[in-house]
Structure 1
Amino acid sequence: MYAGAAVAVGLFTSMSPSAVAWLRCLGAAVVLVAWRRPPRGAWRGRPLLLAGTFGLVTAGMNVLFYEAIARLPLGTAVALEFAGPVVVAAIGSRTRRDFLALLLVVAGVVAIADVRLAGSGLGVVFALGAALAWAAYILLGQRVATGGNGIDGLAVGFAVATVALSPLALQTGAVWGSPRLLVLGIGVGVFSTVVPYGLDQVVLARVGRARFALLLALLPVAAGVTGFVLLAQVPSLPEALGTLAVVLGVALRGRGSRPEVLTEPPG
């Protein structure tokens, strides 16, 4: 995911953030459909409606986040977007232990993200929109994982989203004359979408939404560890304490919670 994000930021100099997000969607759709080859039943009726809605929400989340990080410091955008999973986790919390775990995770993410109140108001709006879309991604993603077609649904969803958001392709002119940019764009789709979202489908089929939402807090921790191991980027004291808080919060939630029963929502 973070390898893909690094490539995406580099592409912002050649095209708009929304265009990069569409190219990411296209790359993911091509790879997923070629890999999974969803059956005919996945392309019609209720499975198509569920997968298509999921794909549109997910692609919209990516567009909003890219527009946010083009206007805000990355840490601020990440912290604001994490409000989505926090809400999902809070709704699924039932005990004092759950809420304590949630508070630890939120405090840890804020410390890791190094939030600075800088940037444009429009960037904040985009980041909060991405947060709302992230919450919807978790809710719809579980339905696709447990009651839909799993990764096949992911493939169909991104195919639908690619077509629905095709007007954004008008801003990708520079790509089609540069094989290098085209390969990088498809690479963003593979690293930032196919691999992590495919794994999300595996995890969502096995854990409840609230626990999954808290597990997402491990993403900035993973980024920090990667930077330390591969790039010799030593974390600051707030970042180190934030990492510890996230790990403790996730461990506390996992140890103290009863397994959540996964059921297909009505409708």
Structure 2
Amino acid sequence: MAVASMTSVQLGLALAVPLFAQLGALGTAGLRLAWGGLLMLVLIRPRLRSFTRQDLLACTVLGAATAGMMLFFMLAVAHLPLGTASALEFLGPLAVSLYGQGGGRKLWTALAALGVLLLTEPWHGGLDAVGLACALAAAGCWAVYILLTQRVGDRVTGLSGLAVSMPVAGLLGTLIAAPTLWSHVTWQALGIMLVLAAVSPVLPFALEFLALRRLTMAAFGTLMSLEPAIALLIGLLVLGQTPGLTSAAGVLFVVIAGAGAIRTGARESVTNGAREAATTEARTPEPRPGAAETA
């Protein structure tokens, strides 16, 4: 689910880049968020009465983090290659992965960090300052998004939490992008963005919401190291952005780190629950044949 989510995100971003000339980076992100929020409301129809105040607050903050993540990242992509922007944004999940315990997880985190270093090549000093700042801001929002998505997913059944947070993100995105949209938006652009909103963010966010119920935050954060590699590949195939040998080596490291995260990523609560159920079943004595008749 997480890999499918990342592929959908990067494909949606690559397909949205050509619209930058007409709508701008903020306008493109704002329309996607607006359509995404509307689609989630129509498809899920959340019942707000079933939410506690704390749950609604968490969903609201999650929506704000989602909006910030997408808006800042679209601005970063307007100044940086897709693979580089994704690698810098991955610093958010990488920070989350540091919360994990155990030597194995630290190894995957270190490999992922090395991969990101090779992908960005900071020693060349050629990164656009605005793009760098926006990518790092998106990274911070992504870290908050991961932490709150698991919290909301654990407390709210189904996708109802996402159906509340996404409209919040859509509203914020629309308000921020409105000044750049009114004089440029067309019916054709609205239709294209509706399709792109289904590809990203609706599908990937739903998949991530479900994946975080099955993985620890640390494992999920490390698994996200695959996203720069996926972005690099899609940037090559869709946008014609050719990576160098160093970037290819960085892809290799993040793929290895992602594979390692999958092996060590089961949530302890789920694992322990399964073990307790198995232990209880093993300890429960089976009724002896004829016991009922004897009684």
Band of TM-score, shorter chain: 0.7 to 0.9
Is the 1:7–1:184 Cα contact (8 Å) retained in structure 2?
Answer: no
Amino acid at match of 2:102: T
Cα offsets for 1:65-108 (capped at 9, x unmatched):
1112222333332222111111110122x222222211112222
Which runs of no fewer than 5 residues in structure 1 stay unpaired? 263-267
The CA RMSD over aligned residues, in Å, is 2.8
Structure with the greater alpha carbon radius of gyration: 2
Percent of aligned pairs with the same amino acid: 33
Match of 2:182 in 1: 173
Please say if 1:80 is aligned against 2:74.
Answer: no
Amino acid at match of 1:111: L
Q: Counterparts of 1:35 and 1:70 in 2: how far apart (Å)? A: 31
Match of 2:156 in 1: 148
SS in 2 for 1:205: coil
Amino acid at match of 1:193: P
Q: Counterparts of 2:80 and 2:238 in 1: how far apart (Å)? A: 26
Amino acid at match of 1:123: G
SS in 1 for 2:98: helix
TM-score with structure 2 setting the length: 0.77
- 1:159 to 1:219, Cα distance in 2 relative to 1, 3 A: same
Cα offsets for 1:121-145 (capped at 9, x unmatched):
2322211111110100100010111
Q: Counterparts of 1:19 and 1:43 in 2: how far apart (Å)? A: 32
* Deviation, structure 1 residue 11: 1.2
* Deviation, structure 1 residue 165: 4.0
More displaced 10-residue stretch of structure 1: 231-240 or 199-208: 231-240
More displaced 10-residue stretch of structure 1: 2-11 or 195-204: 2-11
Cα offsets for 1:154-185 (capped at 9, x unmatched):
12112123233433223212454x22211122
TM-score with structure 1 setting the length: 0.84
SS in 1 for 2:203: helix
Is the 2:33–2:174 Cα contact (8 Å) retained in structure 1?
Answer: no
Which runs of no fewer than 5 residues in structure 2 stay unpaired? 1-8, 271-295
Match of 1:134 in 2: 142
- 1:113 to 1:8, Cα distance in 2 relative to 1, 3 A: farther
Alignment equivalent of 2:254, drawn from 228, 242, 246: 246
Match of 1:62 in 2: 70
- Structure 1 segments of 4+ aligned residues over 6 angstroms from their partners: 227-235
Is the 1:111–1:238 Cα contact (8 Å) retained in structure 2?
Answer: yes
Amino acid at match of 2:193: G
